[in-house]
Amino acid sequence: MRPRLSLRPSRAPIRRRREISRPETEHLIETVLPLVQTMTTPCIVDVGTGSGCIAIALAKELPQAEMHATDISSEALEIARANAARHQLESRVHFHQGDLLQRLGQNRFDCVVSNPPYVGESEEDQVQLEVRKFEPRHAVFAGPTGLEVIQRLIPQAHDALKPGGWLVIEISGSIVEGVQDVLDSWREVRVTEDLQKIPRVARAQKTLP
């Protein structure tokens, strides 16, 4: 059995904001690893990296990987860079400021991974108090339905991935059908549940030529 992944920085974070990591995010990491760990030099991008915990965990687990991370927030990237430096990974993780995958090129990545905003505005009272208190609102709530960011991310990921590349995203049970609809043209679409039997991670493969 694999050891439990630690997604938190090894020392105290420089700020509390955007530092929250959860078991669901570890599920995301565990989904990515078997898809890419046999590749010689997988090129991976973490979209909406926040504090950088996903990119840092993947860089640790996959020393052969070329790791990239994006965020629209300069404040988030400042925190992520500091956390990468705490793990001596500042030269391994390449950070980019921008909206999702804009300006990162086409047919470039073997895997796009993301824990995007996916909570609908009507579900606010169901969000954990810790998340509501410390996470920026735009990092949690996607819009009225919860699908708004994912609907933009999926076509951008399709362009950014190499043929046969993988998309792995965290989702919730309330949007699983909508996510599957958007992924209709992809291969190997699979949704896995978390420990509470709630649909939590969707993975899909870009069609081969």
Give the tens place of pLDDT for each residue, 58-112. Answer: 999 999 999 999 999 999 999 999 999 999 999 999 999 999 999 898 999 999 9
What's the confidence (pLDDT) of residue 17?
A: 41
Q: What is the DSSP letter of 115?
A: -
Which of 72-86, 126-140, 156-170 shows the lowest per-residue confidence on average (mean pLDDT)? 126-140
pLDDT at 126 over 90: no
pLDDT: which is higher, 103 or 144? 103
What's the confidence (pLDDT) of residue 63?
A: 96
Q: What is the mean pLDDT of residues 9-26?
A: 50
What's the confidence (pLDDT) of residue 16?
A: 38
| Beta strand segments in the chain, E | 43-47, 66-71, 93-97, 109-114, 119-120, 141-143, 161-170, 187-193, 199-205
Q: What is the mean pLDDT of residues 116-135?
A: 55
Confidence label for 15 from pLDDT (cuts 50, 70 and 90):
very low
What's the confidence (pLDDT) of residue 3?
A: 40
C-alpha span between 116 and 166 (Å, rounded): 16
What's the confidence (pLDDT) of residue 14?
A: 39
Q: What is the mean pLDDT of residues 150-156?
A: 95
What's the confidence (pLDDT) of residue 143?
A: 54
Which of 10-24, 65-79, 89-103, 171-185 shows the lowest per-residue confidence on average (mean pLDDT)? 10-24
Confidence label for 136 from pLDDT (cuts 50, 70 and 90):
low
The identity of residue 47, as a single letter, is V
What's the confidence (pLDDT) of residue 117?
A: 81
Domains of the chain: 104-205 (3.40.50.150)
Decide if 42 contacts 110 (C-beta within 8 A).
yes
Given the DSSP bridges, would you call strands 161-170 and 187-193 parallel, antiparallel or unpaired? Answer: unpaired
pTM metric for this prediction: 0.84
Confidence label for 11 from pLDDT (cuts 50, 70 and 90):
very low
